[in-house]
Structure 1
Amino acid sequence: MTRHPMRLLRAEWTKFRSVPGWVRGSVVAALLILLFPIAGLGGGAPDQASPVPIGPHGGPVSSGYFFVHRPLSGDGRITVAVSALTSVRGDGAATPWAKAGLIVTAGPEPGARYAAIMVTGGHGVRMQHDYVHDRGGRPGAVSADAPRWLRLTRSGDTVTGEESPDGERWNEVATVRLPGLAATVQAGLFVACPQHVEGIGTAGDAATAAFGAPRLTGGWSAAGWAGDQVGAGTATFAGYPRGTTGSFAPAGDGFTVTGAGDLAPATRSELPVGAAAGDVLFGTFPALVVIVVVATLMITTEYRYGMIRSTLSAGNRRVRILAAKAAVVAGVTFTTCLVAAALAVPLWLRVVRGLGVYVFPVTSGAALRAEVGTAALLAVAAVFALAVGTILRRSATAVTTVVAAVVLPYLLALTPFLPPSMAVWLTRFTPAAAMAVQQTLVRYPQVDGLYTPAAGYYPLPPWAGLAVLGGYTALAFAVAAVLLCRRDA
């Protein structure tokens, strides 16, 4: 006799709540999400001695560069040729995002608004402003035989960047607006060079550029050029390599300028003591283990004690029975873990901020997605464990298999000594890809950095990562359904 689906659900729900261990397991998993961050605070708050510069968009920025400048009152234009750009760690050339060019800045403080036209070591000419905005121009590197001319024009609070191969034929790269730009600003030449990524770490770097004679029109001061390192002493400035320092010196009619730092959004590698919203959800890992055990036992216990015969004899639609079990364990897991995640994120972010730790900004939408995604991740993992338990029919073997498939790749990806390429592979193609649903950090294409899972960056978008786990779960469930129908109880 075929039982109505709602009766099957009711029967499986009654069975679930009648086993105290399964109920306690679900509660423990939720409590681990909510309370496990305490373990990470056992050593107290990490020391953040240097100030974190904040950009106009409200996020942390790297705002360090060597600035050769003079005052500009009102409108004006500066034109210069760049004939060389090299860096300490560039093997005679320049690291890809080493920068040299022209800049107008709203103020001397790190994080101030700016607009800049520049040549780079490996990405051609760029027009960038306010750290997060980037527009590409003509590709190619500069050299003495192929200099690149740059021109920056200020008109009110509008700044236009142009580039030329010969100083005669000009191509506009971008026009940007800097709201609130003062009547008198500092403008001129700049050189920056971000940290060099080396394997699983970074190293300080510096770049040197050769500029021709600057051509000035408009309200420029008659005072001479002055040179300063901007951003020294901030948390995102790595300093200069040993034996190198920021400087500028006359070279013919122009200048040779050496600088370090960057003008870009800050990454986790530049703020290693900074916290992200996803960090306070690291109780997901132990909660996942508990959920796997509970979901596996829901089916393997019936096989162990022979109760599966009475379960399957209650109806001739075995797949419906398996689906009912999946709905119950997924529903319980999603509900309890969603409540825990929704409480954990705002609570622990407030605690972390109270301890003086910098927290990367997160939108309400991204926080909500991380909370709902965490609950969905655990619910899907529960169904995956139930399916594997149905296939293998033995608790220890099934739990070990699921932990090895979901938990182990995640732990390996978090190992700081694992090559970044391997960590990316593990979180792209294994069920551990689902952890991407918790990421709240933004990866910017104009910034090189350690974009690894250990730093909170995943190779797949959040829901795409969860879909990978969903694919494994669908496959396991289909195999489990076929075997359940073909096997004798």
Structure 2
Amino acid sequence: MNHFAHLLRAEWTKFVTVRGWVLGMLTAAIVTVLVGLVGSGGGGFSCAGPNGQACPDRTPPIGPDGTAVTDAFNFVHQPLTGNGSIAVKVSSLTDPQSGGSPQPWAKAGILVKDGVRQGSAYAAVMLTGARGVRMQYDYTHDIAGTPGTDPRWLRLTRTGDTILAEESADGARWQSVGTAELRGLPSTVEVGMFATSPDAVAKSGGPGDPTTVSAGFEGVGLRGQWGGTWASDKIGDRGGVFERVGSAFVLSGAGDIAPVVVRRGSLAKTVESGLVGAFAGLIVVTVVAGLTVTGEYRRGLIRTTLTASPRRGLVLAAKSVVLGGTAFVTGLVAAAVAIPVVTAIQRGKGFPILPVSGATEAGVIVGIAALLAVTAILTSAVGVILRRAAGVVTAVVVAMVLPYLLAIASVLPEGMGEWLLRLTPAAAFAVQQSLPEYAHVAAAYTPANGYFPLPSWGGFAVLCGYTALAIGVAAVVLRRRDA
């Protein structure tokens, strides 16, 4: 242990005494921040409403857990005070324009909501265009019920903060779909029928044409203390029609009740928008790490190092720790500066910023730092194997940066970019993804839209696997080959 500590001290001293290496790491941090600033400073938009009116606020509503959400639907409702239930038969679900089947995630059913404010807590049970019966609540939660599109009876029962969702084929025999706990639900809530249909997804990955769903409701049954009068609200102002014929209701609506996802062409910005310079910083770190190793071979200093410490495996480990640690601090400082500064600039320009938790933002910052650290270690191992700076930098950049750029540029056949980000070291760029995919939201979850095929830890593990392999090969080469 004392010997390894001595090696660490020696490698650290060697690193800080070469001014070019230290300046290189500082440059990596500066480049990461500056590229982010250039990217944020170059974009912008202007808007003028009719007759000089202000443009609508583009900031999305925020759900109960802090998630940015879409909350737009046609809602026919009454106030319910205290406990109670509503049951209804969804007798039809169609696309009013074509008369055929609606979008797969078009939805109509019954809903309990904390008022009519967008983003407020809710729980709903619904029949969808092609995903069967679902219970969804607070935007991010989805529970599957019976598949199919046949007419179904649906029921919601409120008991305090607990909402029970049930379904039935005949209105007599009921089965549970799921339950939701809506903490802090007020005594009086708005409950009723709703209809909404999300926009189609364009081939480009951006939002497609708006869609509409029309739903028929029959046999509404109420229990509890109700307001007695049905009110109609178009939450989110996406339009829709409400008709009542005797005891039957017909609603049409457009929009969605779901978390916001990133789509191509969207004005919304995410935490990782401030990290567009990370790949440039990574290239600089790769150059510095490559030079620290190959420079010793070029000048013959490696002979002195190995003579002073014949245990070559420990020498390699010490170099890895020093380079990795230095790169980690570089990435940590750069990301911690770039994200809040770029976010502030984008917010000042009027771009909506999709919020994430403090833990998620910290995870992205630490993830970028770890990405740079492991890339530096990978580069040092490749440096021991190849010994030529140009070859080392080219090999690592081709393995790390090129697959990432090809994947996000969408120049490859569909799906190939995702495989590149599963199988190459570039998979580690997944550490910068801050927004999850949602199974109940139709979208193009592609690298071009900022979604990676592996979770953050999975992509980082791929890079670690390549690095471990490179270190193993480097250790064998270092033992068998003369300095």
Q: CA deviation at 1:470?
A: 0.7
Q: CA deviation at 1:400?
A: 1.0
Q: Which runs of 5+ in 2 are unaligned?
A: 47-55
Match of 2:178 in 1: 174
Match of 1:142 in 2: 149
Q: Is 1:191 the equivalent of 2:210?
A: no
Contact 1:280 1:345 in 2 (8 A): yes
For 2:226 and 2:308, locate their aligned partners in 1 and report how far apart those are by CA, in whole Å.
89
> 3-state SS of the aligned residue for 2:201?
strand
Match of 1:120 in 2: 128
Superposed counterparts of 1:362-381, under 5 Å: 362-381=356-375
**Which one-letter code corresponds to 1:128 in the other structure?**
Q
Match of 1:84 in 2: 92
For 2:255 and 2:92, locate their aligned partners in 1 and report how far apart those are by CA, in whole Å.
18
For 1:381 and 1:410, locate their aligned partners in 2 and report how far apart those are by CA, in whole Å.
14
- Aligned to 2:72, which of 38, 57, 64? 64
Q: CA deviation at 1:419?
A: 5.8
Match of 1:200 in 2: 204
Match of 2:235 in 1: 230
Match of 1:21 in 2: 20
Match of 2:258 in 1: 264
Match of 1:34 in 2: 33
- Give CA-to-partner distance per residue, 1:225-270, whole Å, 9 cap, x none: 55443212xxxxxx6xxxxx72244578634432211111111229
Q: Which runs of 5+ in 1 are unaligned?
A: 233-238, 240-244
- Aligned to 1:131, which of 136, 139, 143? 139
**Which one-letter code corresponds to 1:32 in the other structure?**
V
Q: CA deviation at 1:288?
A: 0.4
Superposed counterparts of 1:65-464, under 5 Å: 65-72=73-80, 76-87=84-95, 92-137=100-145, 139-143=146-150, 147-154=151-158, 158-178=162-182, 185-201=189-205, 202-203=207-208, 204-221=210-227, 223=229, 225=230, 227-232=232-237, 246-249=240-243, 254-269=248-263, 272-416=266-410, 421-464=415-458
Moved more, 184-193 or 382-391: 184-193
Moved more, 452-461 or 28-37: 452-461
Moved more, 394-403 or 197-206: 197-206
What TM-score do the two structures reach when normalised by structure 1? 0.86
CA, structure 1 residues 400+133, in 2 after alignment: closer, same or farther (shift >3 Å)?
Answer: same
For 2:373 and 2:347, locate their aligned partners in 1 and report how far apart those are by CA, in whole Å.
30
For 2:433 and 2:474, locate their aligned partners in 1 and report how far apart those are by CA, in whole Å.
32
CA, structure 1 residues 327+217, in 2 after alignment: closer, same or farther (shift >3 Å)?
Answer: closer
Please, what is the CA RMSD of the aligned residues? 3.0
CA, structure 1 residues 171+90, in 2 after alignment: closer, same or farther (shift >3 Å)?
Answer: farther
For 1:282 and 1:80, locate their aligned partners in 2 and report how far apart those are by CA, in whole Å.
50
CA, structure 1 residues 276+420, in 2 after alignment: closer, same or farther (shift >3 Å)?
Answer: farther
Percent identity reads: 49
> 3-state SS of the aligned residue for 1:4?
helix
**Which one-letter code corresponds to 1:466 in the other structure?**
F
Contact 2:196 2:255 in 1 (8 A): yes
Task: Count residues with an aligned counterpart.
Answer: 471
- Give CA-to-partner distance per residue, 1:399-436, whole Å, 9 cap, x none: 11110100111112222565663333222221111122
Contact 1:420 1:452 in 2 (8 A): no
What TM-score do the two structures reach when normalised by structure 2? 0.87
For 1:301 and 1:126, locate their aligned partners in 2 and report how far apart those are by CA, in whole Å.
62
> 3-state SS of the aligned residue for 2:155?
strand
Contact 1:435 1:466 in 2 (8 A): yes
> 3-state SS of the aligned residue for 1:389?
helix
> 3-state SS of the aligned residue for 2:90?
strand
Q: CA deviation at 1:89?
A: 10
- Give CA-to-partner distance per residue, 1:4-56, whole Å, 9 cap, x none: 33333333333322322211111101222333321112235456843422222
- Give CA-to-partner distance per residue, 1:419-455, whole Å, 9 cap, x none: 6633332222211111222222133332222323333
CA, structure 1 residues 313+191, in 2 after alignment: closer, same or farther (shift >3 Å)?
Answer: same
- Give CA-to-partner distance per residue, 1:254-301, whole Å, 9 cap, x none: 344322111111112299222222221222111100011111112222
For 1:479 and 1:43, locate their aligned partners in 2 and report how far apart those are by CA, in whole Å.
44
For 1:92 and 1:85, locate their aligned partners in 2 and report how far apart those are by CA, in whole Å.
9
Contact 2:410 2:417 in 1 (8 A): no
**Which one-letter code corresponds to 2:218 in the other structure?**
G
Contact 1:273 1:357 in 2 (8 A): yes
